[in-house]
Structure 1
């Protein structure tokens, strides 16, 4: 049995929040603050969120390489995506679904008019006791329009896939933060 295991460093992310703001909104001074002025909160989110990173790697070889291994690898840029599923009609959820559109009164109700596309900033964060982790996207857009399902068997949710775009200031499209330094 290993003597290096440390259960205090294991995490079960049990709670979290997500926020959106206009594209280019700067990173808050404290990304873990209880309130983020200028950011609209998503309400309930089903089962947290998922961060995926995709990268195409092409092995390159030369004619006299007899080792069986690639001589060099060509790596495309990493393409991250963040998926989350809000289950409410918060301002953040509706603004994301409208993609830059609007809501107008008419026909005895309110019509949701989709836009062409819209860029926005996103913060998602999770908690496990005092440990916290957060991701920040300065510029992103809705990757695909989610389907709507209303069948009486589940809470209505909106599976959102957010595709980060290169930030205007340069740097990483998705920035990751933790409350403590795991290398300390």
Structure 2
């Protein structure tokens, strides 16, 4: 059998953090995430998923010979499900809304969502292997249906669209995974 059974990853733990765009991002996997990055809290055991979407156009020479394919409109998204209804999740789900607490009572005023790009860091752990995915700019584009029930956890499924930087970078992965090493 070709391959190494130590190479497949089963991410046993994960955290997602959000901060204002331009916040200094982690550059390694050992330095604790700075307090300016706010954790979204518990995530669903279903994990996260990444999707890609793009258009491609085939170009043919006379006689029907394929000579080139061009790609455009590339879109990358990450979907996570948050299990907590904390202030960070509230802000991601309801951008432009407000919350205030007085005398132990919190009042949330939910408004029509506004554009609110954020920076994100996802930290994944598999035993001794850690990966931090730094997303310099993204935005919650879609919030799934929220169930209010006595038999299911309330959860917030967030679809985050990743915006590329001027140099076309979508995100940066920082890891100590030996199979990712450039040799």
User: TM over 0.5, yes or no?
Assistant: yes
**2: CA distance between counterparts of 1:173 and 1:120?**
13
5+ residue gaps, structure 1, are none
Aligned residue number for residue 13 of structure 2:
15
**1: CA distance between counterparts of 2:18 and 2:176?**
21
Aligned ranges 1:1-184 → 2 under 5 Å: 2=1, 4-46=2-44, 47-65=46-64, 67=65, 70-104=66-100, 110-114=107-111, 115-167=113-165, 170-181=167-178, 182=180, 183-184=182-183
Calculate the TM-score normalised by the size of structure 1.
0.84
**How far 1:51 moved relative to its partner?**
1.5
Distance 1:25 1:171, change over 3 A: farther
Could you report, residue by residue, the CA deviation over 1:68-109 in whole angstroms, capped at 9, with x for unpaired residues?
xx2210111431101100100233211211213212469x75
**2: CA distance between counterparts of 1:140 and 1:180?**
25
**How far 1:7 moved relative to its partner?**
1.1
Distance 1:157 1:94, change over 3 A: same
Distance 1:26 1:78, change over 3 A: farther
Q: 2:29 touches 2:130 (CA, 8 Å); kept in 1?
A: no
5+ residue gaps, structure 2, are none
Q: 1:80 touches 1:174 (CA, 8 Å); kept in 2?
A: no
**How far 1:170 moved relative to its partner?**
3.4
**1: CA distance between counterparts of 2:147 and 2:119?**
26
Q: 1:83 touches 1:159 (CA, 8 Å); kept in 2?
A: yes
**2: CA distance between counterparts of 1:120 and 1:109?**
24
Calculate the TM-score normalised by the size of structure 2.
0.85
Partner secondary structure for residue 36 of structure 2 = coil
- After TM superposition, the runs of 4+ consecutive aligned structure 1 residues lying more than 6 A away are none
Aligned residues: 177
**How far 1:62 moved relative to its partner?**
2.1
Q: 1:41 touches 1:90 (CA, 8 Å); kept in 2?
A: no
If each structure's strand is expressed as a fraction of its own residues, which one has the higher value?
A: 2
**How far 1:57 moved relative to its partner?**
1.3
